[in-house]
A and B are shown apart, each in its own frame.
Chain A
Amino acid sequence: MEKSFERLAISLKEVAGFIYPNEIELHWSILIVVYPYITGLVAGAFILASLERVFNVKEVEPTYRLSLLTALAFLIVAPLPLVAHLGHPERAFEIFLTPNFRSAMAMFGFVYAWYLLVVLLVELWFEYRKDIVVWSKKEKGLKRIIYLVLTLGASDLSEKSLRFDKKAGKIITIIGVPSAFLLHGYVGFIFGSVKANPWWSSVLMPVVFLFSAIVSGIALMILLYMVITLFRKKPIEMSCIDKLASFLLYAMILDFSLENLDFIHRIYESEESIKILYQLLISKLFISMVVIQILLGTIVPMVLLAWTKLGHLPDELRRLIYFCSAILTLIGIFSIRWNVVIGGQLFSKSLRGLTTYKMELLGIEGLLVALFFLVLPFIILYILVALFPPWKEAEVKLET
């Protein structure tokens, strides 16, 4: 506790202008930055997967199963930073016992449960059921038990039943798209509905969150697809990543336009908070917002991707550009989350001063923990991929 007081004392010295005395402690730390970032990746990856199913985009098929598994891996991790951040993690279950239906946050448990249990797991189950049933007969030991449990006893592999799987999968995807919108739009709503905070309070917040989620999800899938294919020593299907890159570009244009709309709207309305928000932008958020989010994270990848569309570039160069753009985009979206969550707490609600965020390194709300939560989904994904190979050639062919 003394240590945290020391940190607060240092923050107190760095306050510029006037802040309310209780505002010295910054309450939502880097873990709360990680949380919307991860949920965004979930929603983005899922929406990408549904493109193939709902809109019949055949080019992106190689990423379909991988996207679903990625969404699952990240969704499993999504609530962990939240729980770790609570003052009383052991009371977290109260959110299911006595949810306050007027609270945006209380809905988290239900939206999350709906998305995980009703959408993602069910869709994956229908997608993999045939394979699981076959594997449960072929494999041995622990793996066999896992597969056996996962069949839930539904081992019917008749043609009629397989046709039903396909149909059910499609219906779930159709439910899934609005659910993914709900999942992430809702995270935006948690921030956008705080009327006390002019940096957050905006009707556009859920929409901007959603589109940035789609952007980050596509970028992640480009990256994962390229890296995994590299490790599997398989050729990258250019038609697939070309298509993904196009989607990334379109999503980015939409996202960037919405962000600019929000920006212009704020400047034009010029409400009482505009002065302090301007101060915030040119001082504390200059690097993370202007340089990283807008310049490196949005404009550079957008220009690069547009170049690949307009010019006839060799495959090698296109791959390099896609790879770099995806990484820059992922960093850019992370800084969006940072600028929203941390940025929204750096100015006083008295609109008279700015404070600083002193990030811990080792503590429960520190950098290492945040990094851990960012790496964890990849470990889970590794296990999931080992259990449910998402590659086309791994899919079980039934002799008919």
Chain B
Amino acid sequence: MNRRDLLKNLLIIPPGIFLGGLFTKILSLLKKTPLGKISLESIYEKYNPHEHYYAMGIDIDKCIGCGRCVEACKIENNVPQEPFFFRTWVERYVITVDGETKVDSPEGGIHGFPETLTEKEILRTFFVPKLCNHCDNPPCVQVCPVGATYKSIDGAVLVDKDYCIGCRYCIQACPYGARYLHPETHTADKCTFCYHRIVKGLQPACVEVCPTGARIFGEVKPRNNPLARFVRFNKIGVLKPYLNTDPKVYYANLDKEVT
């Protein structure tokens, strides 16, 4: 792009796109394209979102850092393969005897952790899988200026990629680094708990492929499901509880070093 083109683009593009968008929208509405009546049945068919409220449990002591969840997530959700975009990733914590804490997540842990992080003597070490916490009090939803990110009836925090303006305020507001700007759609993107799977009775992809059962998916309310048992028999921690985001990803055996 040479400078002249650039200047031309600058003068024309922002207002042009704005007016163009407005105009096409007006045209499409004038044509009265029937959007179809939207109701719970037309969206979910037989599934009733009012009967569910989802959450996830993660047992840190079971995670082996194989990165299968990261790979499955990228495949299932068409997350760009480049190592800058993750809906879920795995972190490795190594605390050495001299009190130093080292953390890494090479390519989100998608290829495991073949390299050693430190040559020093290890005091304790563990893997921590991370993903969107689907907060009950989500700061990302609060800051979205147009209502393009929202909490669904069954408790998943989702993004409307056809409505998001790409201002990235939600990415700034997320304390967990769980959001990114999708390089193709130019809209915010994040974990959906594999919403398209769970409404059909399947497990989220990361839970499906976890070989050690470190990830447990289930519901907050009913007592007879794996998550209810998980929160009953473990001491539970959440990430950054002092921010009052009310995360719905529950960690068992969470270490104080995890941020």
Contact = CB atoms under 8 A, between A and B. Distances in A.
Q: Check whether chain A touches chain B (CB < 8 angstroms).
A: yes
Interface of A: 1, 4-5, 8, 12, 18-25, 27-28, 80, 82-95, 97-100, 102-106, 108, 190, 194-197, 345, 348-352, 362, 364, 368-369, 372
A351 B259 contact: yes
B173 A25 contact: no
Contact of A196 (B3, B102, B172): B172
Main secondary structure of the interface of A (DSSP, over half): loop
Contacts of A103: 142-145, 169
A20 B177 contact: yes
A5 B181 CA distance: 13
B103 interface: yes
A24 B180 CA distance: 10
Contacts of A364: 9, 13
B186 A88 contact: yes
A25 B164 contact: no
B147 A22 contact: no
A95 B82 contact: no
Interface of B: 1, 3, 6-7, 9-10, 13-14, 17-18, 20-22, 82-86, 89, 91, 101-105, 107-108, 130, 139, 142-148, 163-169, 171-181, 183-187, 243, 259
A372 B12 CA distance: 13
Contacts of B6: 362, 368-369
Given A21-B83, A352-B259, A362-B1, A90 B20 contact: yes
Nearest to B25: A93
16 contacts: A12-B84, A18-B104, A27-B168, A86-B167, A87-B186, A88-B166, A88-B187, A92-B18, A108-B145, A195-B173, A196-B173, A196-B174, A196-B243, A349-B177, A350-B177, A368-B6
Given A21-B105, A195-B175, A362-B6, 11 more contacts: A5-B183, A21-B83, A21-B108, A25-B84, A90-B21, A94-B148, A100-B145, A195-B173, A349-B177, A364-B9, A369-B10
Nearest to B23: A90
Contacts of A24: 84
Q: Which 7 A-B pairs have the closest CB atoms?
A: A87-B166, A90-B21, A20-B177, A87-B186, A196-B175, A106-B145, A18-B103
A22 B163 contact: no
Given A103-B143, A196-B243, A350 B103 contact: yes
